[in-house]
Structure 1
Amino acid sequence: MDIILALLFYRSPQVSFCDEEIKEFDTIFNAAIHGDGLIKYTSLFPKQRFLLYISMNKNVLMHGSTQKSIAEFEPRRQTLYNGKYVEAVFATKDGVWPVFYSIFNKDKLAGNFRNGCLETRSGKKFYFFSITKETYMNSPWTQGMIYFLPRESFERARKEIISFDEWISEEPVKPMAKIEVDLTDFYFMDRVSIHKAKEPVLKTWLLYKWRNLFSG
């Protein structure tokens, strides 16, 4: 299954962190947790790596939003990747996926958008990000915020052979910290593909990587 997904989608970044990064990232995160919660990122290390480090090493989840001043997340009616309705706060353990939601201005949406972070039972993750040509022409990219949420009230939405990295909380959740991001912080900014709004999702999946590779 991992081989099939690797043919269709992009694999998660394979990273390791040096001692200097670890010390600096821990200092930045702890200062925010014990301060006002706003991460003032001044490190010379890419913010992408900071987000990956926190997602991999801290007991937190992440939520990306274009709204920059959310004091508390309230459960609301939404759909899981399988179409099931739930009333919950959504978050993810992944350090890449939520950046897309932070920088994608849905007010510029024309048609639909398709994206996801798929995780297999082996722990490997795969991503896809696709928007319509009309949305692309609307210049949908903006600045937003990544919110770090305590994990206690969350549970994995579903764990199967292949699952989206979705976590849900049926209780309100207050962020522990937050950090501003823009399109330069999105690891797969140059891997966003274009699809036709009315095409089947399966076709978008099958052609996603091919379209990206031959987009110009």
Structure 2
Amino acid sequence: MLRLISSIIFRLLFYRFPQLAYSQEEIEEYEKMYSKALTSKSEIKYSSNFPKLHFIQYIASTKKVVLHGSNHKGINEFEPRRQTLFNGKYEEAVFATRDGIWPIFYAVFDRNKLVGNFRNACISSDLKYNYYFFSLTRETILSNPWTSGMLYFLPEETFEKVNHSLVPFDEWISKSPVAPLTKIEVEPEDFYFINKVSYHNPKESVIVSWFLYKLRTKFFIKR
């Protein structure tokens, strides 16, 4: 019952991505592309007519990988470093997620244009959907803070999911260094929720940002 109630609350507050149905042609193309990159130990050069996000979601949901997005395109190994979990606890670790959409935000958001702070989340409340929240300060949004970036596919073996109890964020951490299996370049247009990025006052509570999120995305002119 608690899980159902939380799912209803998240649905009211946040956006979710529709479930994808893959054709056999898509699956064969994605498998071939991914296998080729692993065999050659090279970057995935995406040339399919199917949306790149569909490929990323397919790999994220069918392979033993976690994903990490970054503005930096030439990372050969990820080293654990001191970062903050959503609950405010510090961890010295490599951060990643099993979700295919959330890390694209980190890949295409130009951190050099950040004014104040930013807030975001990927919440796994049931088996069918993840729920998403993305918010920047007004000044950051108006600077058009989008760029190309890189999405890295990391082996999941050393990662463990962080427990957030009532708010189950899709955060995974590794205390050991991790080398990517492969990577793929992404552009702002690959970020599904780029027009659902809200704004917030950097001094307001996160709860306020959550409750005003959808309202703000409907009425704030970002471009």
Q: Work out whether residues 121 and 160 of structure 1, in 8 Å CA contact, stay in contact via their aligned partners in 2.
A: no
Distance in 2, matches of 1:18 and 1:124, equals: 20
Q: 1:20 Cα deviation (Å)?
A: 0.5
Work out which of the residue numbers 58, 62, 80 in structure 2 matches 1:57. 62
Alignment of 1:117-128 (within 5 A): 117-122=122-127, 124-128=129-133
- Aligned to 2:29, the other structure's residue is in SS state helix
Q: Return 154-163 or 16-25, whichever deviates more.
A: 154-163
**2:3 maps to what in 1?**
none
Alignment of 1:50-89 (within 5 A): 50-89=55-94
Distance in 1, matches of 2:126 and 2:141, equals: 34
Q: Is 1:11 equivalent to 2:11 in the alignment?
A: no
Q: Is 1:168 equivalent to 2:173 in the alignment?
A: yes
Q: Is 1:22 equivalent to 2:66 in the alignment?
A: no
**Normalising to structure 2: TM-score of the pair?**
0.93
Letter aligned with residue 185 of structure 1: D
Q: Work out whether residues 112 and 131 of structure 1, in 8 Å CA contact, stay in contact via their aligned partners in 2.
A: yes
Q: Is 1:210 equivalent to 2:215 in the alignment?
A: yes
- Aligned to 1:61, the other structure's residue is in SS state strand
Q: Is 1:155 equivalent to 2:160 in the alignment?
A: yes
Q: Work out whether residues 147 and 175 of structure 1, in 8 Å CA contact, stay in contact via their aligned partners in 2.
A: yes
Distance in 1, matches of 2:63 and 2:165, equals: 24
Distance in 2, matches of 1:124 and 1:44, equals: 25
Alignment of 1:185-200 (within 5 A): 185-200=190-205
**2:142 maps to what in 1?**
137
Consecutive unaligned residues of structure 1, counting only runs of 5 or more, are: none
Q: Work out whether residues 7 and 126 of structure 2, in 8 Å CA contact, stay in contact via their aligned partners in 1.
A: no
Q: Work out whether residues 104 and 141 of structure 1, in 8 Å CA contact, stay in contact via their aligned partners in 2.
A: yes
Q: 1:117 Cα deviation (Å)?
A: 0.2
Q: 1:151-190: CA deviations, max 9, x gaps?
A: 0011111153431100000000000000000101001111
Count of aligned residue pairs for this structure pair: 216
Q: 1:6-53: CA deviations, max 9, x gaps?
A: 110001331111101000011111110111320010000000111111
Distance in 2, matches of 1:64 and 1:122, equals: 24
Alignment of 1:92-131 (within 5 A): 92-122=97-127, 124-131=129-136
Q: Work out whether residues 183 and 189 of structure 1, in 8 Å CA contact, stay in contact via their aligned partners in 2.
A: yes
Q: 1:213 Cα deviation (Å)?
A: 2.0
Q: Work out whether residues 95 and 172 of structure 2, in 8 Å CA contact, stay in contact via their aligned partners in 1.
A: yes
**Normalising to structure 1: TM-score of the pair?**
0.96
Letter aligned with residue 97 of structure 2: T
Distance in 2, matches of 1:12 and 1:43, equals: 21
- Aligned to 1:163, the other structure's residue is in SS state coil
Letter aligned with residue 153 of structure 2: F
Q: 1:188-214: CA deviations, max 9, x gaps?
A: 111111112222211110000111123
- Aligned to 1:209, the other structure's residue is in SS state helix
Consecutive unaligned residues of structure 2, counting only runs of 5 or more, are: 1-5
- Aligned to 1:162, the other structure's residue is in SS state coil
Distance in 1, matches of 2:213 and 2:219, equals: 10
